[in-house]
Structure 1
Amino acid sequence: MARAYVQTRYPTNVVMVDFGPLAQSGLPLLASPLSILTAFFSLFNARRISERVADMIIFLMRCQMLQGPKQVHLIGFSLSGALVGFVGKFIQQKTLRKIGRISGLDSIPYLALLDKSDADFVDMTHTRFGIIPPFIPPIVHAQFYINRGGPHQPNCPNLWPFVETYCSHSTANFYFAKSIRKKPVACRCTKKKNPDRRCYDKAIYGQYLSPQRRGNFCINMD
Structure 2
Amino acid sequence: MEKRLYKDEITDVLSFILTKQRDYACYKEFGCFSPENRMALEIGGPVSPEEAGVRFYFYGRLSPLGTLVTATNWSNVLHRRFVKNRKALKIVIHGFKESRNTRQVVNLTSTLLQHTRSNVIVVDWQYAARFPYYATAAANSPLVGAELSVLLQSMYNKSSLWPKSVHLIGFSLGAHAAGFCGRHFENATKQKIGRITGLDPAGLLFENPNASLSSADAEFVDVIHTNGGNMNELEFGRKDPMGHVDFYPNGGSYQLGCTAALSDISCSHNRAWWYFIEALQSTCSFKSIPCHNGWNSYRTCLMNAYVKPVQMGSRKVIPNLNGSYYLKTNAKPPYCIEEERFPR
Fold conserved (TM > 0.5)? Answer: yes
1:146: Cα distance to partner? 1.1
Match of 1:210 in 2: 318
Correspondence list, 1:102-181, <5 A? 102-109=196-203, 111=206, 113-129=212-228, 136-151=239-254, 153-156=255-258, 158=259, 160=261, 162-181=262-281
Correspondence for 1:190? 292
Provide the residue aligned with 1:7 in structure 2: 114
- Distance in 2 separating the partners of 1:82 and 1:150: 19
Query: Which string of whole-angstrom CA distances, capped at 9 and with x for unpartnered residues, describes residues 112-170 of structure 1?
Result: 611111111111101111587xx94443210001122132x2333x252x433301100
Contact 1:185 1:205 in 2 (8 A): yes
CA contact 2:228–2:239 (8 Å) conserved in 1 = no
Contact 2:289 2:302 in 1 (8 A): no
- SS for the counterpart of 1:174 is helix
User: Structure 1 pair 154/52, CA: closer, same or farther in 2 (3 Å)?
Assistant: same
**Aligned residue identity for 2:113:** V
- C-alpha distance in 1 between matches for 2:178 and 2:189: 16
State whether residues 203 and 213 of structure 1, in contact with CA within 8 Å, keep that contact through their aligned partners in structure 2: no
SS at match of 1:103: strand
Work out the CA distance in 1 between the residues paired with 2:219 and 2:229. 23
Q: Give the Å deviation of 1:179.
A: 0.9
- Structure 2 CA distance for partners of 1:171 and 1:137, relative to 1, 3 Å: closer
Task: Give the counterpart letter for 1:5 in structure 2.
Answer: L
- In the alignment, the residues of structure 2 paired with residue 69 and residue 7 of structure 1 have an alpha-carbon distance, to the nearest angstrom, of 22
Are the counterparts in 1 of residues 289 and 326 from structure 2 also a CA contact under 8 Å? yes
Q: Secondary structure at the match of 1:49?
A: helix
Extract unaligned runs of 5+ from structure 1.
28-36
Shift of residue 198, structure 1, vs aligned partner: 2.3
1:50 aligned residue (145, 148, 154): 145
Cα distance per residue 1:87-125 (max 9 Å; x no partner): 001111100110111111111246161111111111110
Q: TM-score, normalised by structure 2?
A: 0.55
Could you state the TM-score of these two structures normalised by the residue count of structure 1?
A: 0.83
Show the counterpart of 2:308.
201
How far did residue 52 of structure 1 move? 1.0
Larger Rg: 2
Instruction: Tell me the alpha carbon deviations over residues 8-47 of structure 1, each in whole angstroms, 9 at most, x when there is no partner.
Output: 2x1111111111110124x3xxxxxxxxx41x11222112
* Alignment-mate amino acid for residue 174 of structure 2: S
CA distance in 2, matches of 1:115, 1:57: 20
CA RMSD of aligned residues (A): 2.1
Instruction: Give per-residue Cα distances to partners, 1:182-217, cap 9 Å, x unaligned.
Output: 332111123432431325121111133514211111
- Conserved 8 A contact 1:98-1:119: yes
Partner of 1:114, secondary structure, is coil
Aligned 8 A contact 1:85 1:118 in 2: yes
**Alignment coverage as a number of residue pairs:** 204
2:113, 2:119 within 8 Å by CA — same for their partners in 1?
A: no
